[in-house]
């Protein structure tokens, strides 16, 4: 894999399978389910087998058009596997959480956001997977209209893509301490809640580690790599049914963040490929800060 261009789903999945075949002692790939159109939801587990390691979940590509997210997440995978002897946590990584939407942005509509579910009784297609998780589903910042970009679906976890993530966590015995979901764009480090402007009881910890991430990102990326830290609803806008709210409230995973990668609007979702490597280095710096925070829990 190289990071000078954006890759199709097949390339990303092929790269994951290649890593699992080449480095069977440190990584393995499982499909946690299938998308609406039957594409696998591939998760790579990276671990060097050290006992009592905390586990981190990382996903990308929940929103189809946010191409920098799967690109940065695959870069993180590459780094973790290449430096596996130093790992201090176990990582479970889903680089493309919305594979149907992702492929659709290559073949039909570069700015598609949702999955590809056909709605009964509507001409419109697609559920916003980041409104479909089962905590405070259907609240502020969502829509019941299948034609809207923020359509929350017919019910919580109505979509196979979100349901597969839920099922994975129900079945997993790993000791998850962090849930990081990568989006674009805007350069934000967001923590719960998204459903309204309240904050969790331990928000001071989330704020502190968030600020540490922002500092590490600036160091990695330079003067323009300024990321704003705060709770989602206050910093950006209210949105219910997001994955980070569910991870925090239901799974009780302490460090739940939505990270909005580059840029701040010049190119938006259509970030030129020359920015993949610098942006991915920022994302990696954030992951390393969270890993460190998880170790001391
Ligand atoms: N932004 C997120 C969205 O789903 C978000 C922002 C995340 C808001 C979590 C609230 C909670 O709308 C993008 N770019 O998708
Ligand atoms: Zn998004």
Around ion ligand 2, which residues have CB less than 5 A away?
Answer: 63, 66, 183
Ligand located closest to 236 CA: 1
pLDDT digits (tens, 9 = 90+) for 121-180: 999 999 999 999 999 999 999 999 999 999 999 999 999 999 999 999 999 999 999 999
CATH class of 9-114+160-295: alpha beta
Domain coordinates of the chain in residue numbers?
A: 9-114+160-295
Instruction: Write out the DSSP string of 22-40.
Output: H-TTTEEEEEEEE-TTS-E
Indicate the pTM of the whole model.
Answer: 0.98
Which ligand is nearest to the Cα of residue 268, counting in written order? 1
In total, the chain counts a number of residues equal to: 297
For residue 245, with 0-12 CB atoms within 10 Å meaning exposed, 13-18 middle and 19 or more buried, which class applies? Answer: buried
Per DSSP, helices labelled H in 49-192 are 68-82, 99-107, 160-171
- 96-111 pLDDT, tens digit each: 999 999 999 999 999 9
Please list every protein residue whose CB sits less than 6 Å from any atom of ligand 1: 63, 130, 183, 190, 194, 232, 236, 239, 242, 244, 258, 260
Task: Tell me whether 0.95 is exceeded by the ipTM.
Answer: yes
pLDDT-derived band at 117 (thresholds 50, 70, 90) equals very high
Torsion sign (Cα): 144, 145, 148, 149: positive
Is residue 92 within 8 Å of residue 57, measured between CB atoms? yes
Ligand 2 centroid distance, CA of 202 (Å): 25
89 in Cβ contact with 51 (< 8 Å)? no
**260 catalytic residue (yes or no):** yes
Q: Which of 66, 103, 159, 260 does the annotation list as catalytic?
A: 260
Q: Are 197 and 234 in contact (CB under 8 A)?
A: yes
């Amino acid at each position: 894999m190289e990071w000078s261009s954006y890759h199709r789903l097949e390339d990303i999945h092929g790269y994951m399978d290649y890593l699992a075949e080449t480095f069977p002692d440190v990584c393995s790939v499982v499909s946690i389910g299938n998308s609406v159109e039957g594409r696998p939801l591939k998760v790579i587990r990276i671990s060097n087998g050290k006992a009592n390691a905390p586990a981190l979940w990382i996903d990308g590509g929940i929103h189809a058009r946010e191409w920098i997210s799967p690109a940065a997440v695959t870069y993180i995978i590459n780094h973790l596997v290449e430096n596996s002897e130093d790992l201090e946590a176990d990582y479970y990584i889903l680089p493309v959480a919305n594979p149907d939407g992702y492929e659709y942005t290559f073949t039909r509509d570069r700015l598609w956001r949702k999955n590809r579910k056909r709605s009964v009784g509507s001409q419109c297609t697609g559920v916003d997977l980041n409104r479909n998780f089962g905590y405070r589903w259907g609240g502020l910042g969502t829509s019941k209209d299948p034609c809207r970009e923020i359509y929350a679906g017919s019910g919580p976890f109505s979509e196979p893509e979100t349901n597969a993530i839920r099922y994975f966590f129900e079945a997993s015995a790993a000791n998850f301490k962090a849930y990081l979901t990568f989006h674009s764009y805007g350069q934000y480090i967001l923590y719960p809640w998204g459903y309204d402007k309240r904050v969790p009881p331990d928000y001071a910890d989330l704020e502190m580690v968030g600020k540490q991430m922002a500092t590490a990102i600036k160091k990695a990326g330079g003067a323009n790599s300024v990321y704003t830290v705060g709770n989602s609803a206050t910093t950006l806008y209210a949105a219910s049914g997001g994955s980070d709210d569910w991870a925090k409230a239901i799974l009780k995973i302490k460090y739940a963040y939505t990270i909005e990668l580059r840029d701040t609007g010049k190119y938006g979702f259509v970030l030129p490929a020359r920015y993949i490597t610098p942006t991915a280095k920022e994302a990696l710096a954030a992951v390393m800060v969270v890993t460190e925070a998880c170790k001391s829990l």
